[in-house]
Amino acid sequence: MNTPNLQYQQKTERLTDAFRVFNELSENLASSYQGLQEQIANLNRQLAAARNERLTTLIEKEKLASRLQQILAALPAAVIVLNAQNKIIDCNQQAIQFLGEPLLGQLWQTVVARRLLPVPDSPHERQLKDGRIVNLVLNHLSNNAEQIILLSDVSELRNLQDTLAQQKHLSAMGEMVASLAHQVRTPLATAILYASQMTKPELVAVKRQQFSEKILERLHFLERQVNDMLIYAKQGRLAMQGFSLTHLLKHVEDRMEGFNGAFLLDSQVDEMTLIGNEDALCGAILNLINNAVEAGADVISVKVESSVQGIEIRIQDNGPGIAQVVQKQLFEPFYTTKIHGTGLGLAVVDSVVKAHAGTVTCQSELGQGSVFVLTLPICEAELGLSLAGVVPVIQEKHYETV
């Protein structure tokens, strides 16, 4: 009889345990649900905050983009963006004003050929069809596939620079005239004095010869001063035509016949017909030789060689040399270390060489003599080439520049 009660009691206990486990699970589930709701609420708050921040960022970016668009539109320079294929993918209004339409989708090279002209001696500048000069700057964007081009109108700046250069030149001309008046008066007075003595019948033949040489020397000096002034006044604008390199060197050699020291001429360049100004180049070489003679050199050599740049003329002497401080100002107009001098000699040499698109440099040490190197990229006339950056041939009377 106790067995059914025992079984009933065991069932009751199992049922009670089941309800207890169920209650625990329900409580755990309720707790988990509450935690999940709190997490969802927290995530919603975070999402709302992120959305608000994102909206704020977008609004700020839109304002910035609008601001940049306004700046680009108001920018007085042309802005052009190219893709990897060099096609225009974006530009501002100033670019359209400079270059005209169409622009978008056009190859940059096509637009350049259509609207931009090269400016001589200025690789970073171009000329528009209306005559304005623009400065061209190109940079790669961060992705290295696109490029941005900036065109700035520098016409007014160029005009101001030209005006300033003209004013400086006029000022230098005034200074030169004042200096030249003194330089001309002294040798002219000397020549007149010697000439007046030559009219005396009792003058012996030896003295007459000496006076004649003195007069000729003073006249050559006056000739150099006047020619230096003329070349400097031309600012390097020389008449260019064909001439013989051998004839140029022969002229230099002939003028050195009366030199009491040793003069060596060595040309390692074959005979050729060149384009340039023979008189001006000869005068520049003789100017350097004359400076060496006046400095006390008694051994002077002129060596002509071919180089990558063209023709290299080296004038070397055994004179006293030139101090480093002086070398920095050698080619400046009116700078001279001579008591009687205009300071135009080396400035004229520099002007002549630049007119031939060349360079002149000085290598010297005190007590070691000096070497002046003229590098002239002169093109052979028979090749039909023209010098870069020189004035075309003009009809004018040639003059001696000795």
Q: Which CATH number belongs to the domain containing residue 169 in this structure?
A: 1.10.287.130
Looking at the structure, do residues 214 and 245 belong to the same domain, yes or no? no
pLDDT band per the 50, 70, 90 thresholds, residue 117: confident
pLDDT band per the 50, 70, 90 thresholds, residue 201: confident
Looking at the structure, do residues 214 and 357 belong to the same domain, yes or no? no
Looking at the structure, do residues 389 and 241 belong to the same domain, yes or no? yes
- Other beta carbons within 10 angstroms of residue 68's beta carbon come to 10
Which one of 57, 74, 91 terminates a domain? 74
Q: What is the residue range of 56's domain?
A: 1-74
Q: Strand 299-306 relative to strand 262-267: parallel, antiparallel, unpaired? A: parallel
Which one of 153, 168, 184 terminates a domain? 153
pLDDT band per the 50, 70, 90 thresholds, residue 348: confident
- The better pLDDT of the pair 227, 354 is held by 354
- pLDDT (0 to 100) of residue 218: 79
CATH number, domain with residue 113: 3.30.450.20
Measured in degrees and rounded to the nearest 5, phi and psi for residue 182 equal -70, -40
Span between the terminal Cα atoms of the chain, in Å:
153
Average pLDDT (55-67) is 79
Which one of 41, 74, 107 terminates a domain? 74
Looking at the structure, do residues 54 and 91 belong to the same domain, yes or no? no
pLDDT tens string 126-163: 888 888 888 888 888 776 678 888 888 888 888 888 88
314, 327 Cβ separation under 8 angstroms: no
Structural domains counted in the chain: 4
Looking at the structure, do residues 248 and 314 belong to the same domain, yes or no? yes
Looking at the structure, do residues 106 and 13 belong to the same domain, yes or no? no
Looking at the structure, do residues 222 and 266 belong to the same domain, yes or no? no
Rounded Cα–Cα distance for residues 238 and 330 (Å): 22
Looking at the structure, do residues 145 and 162 belong to the same domain, yes or no? no
For the chain, the average pLDDT equals 79
Strand locations in 129-218 (E): 133-140, 147-153
CATH number, domain with residue 369: 3.30.565.10
Looking at the structure, do residues 203 and 254 belong to the same domain, yes or no? no
Looking at the structure, do residues 268 and 321 belong to the same domain, yes or no? yes
396-399: long-range contacts (C-beta < 8 A, 24 or more apart)? 396/239, 398/239, 398/277, 398/278, 398/279, 399/227, 399/230, 399/279
Looking at the structure, do residues 266 and 389 belong to the same domain, yes or no? yes
Looking at the structure, do residues 122 and 177 belong to the same domain, yes or no? no
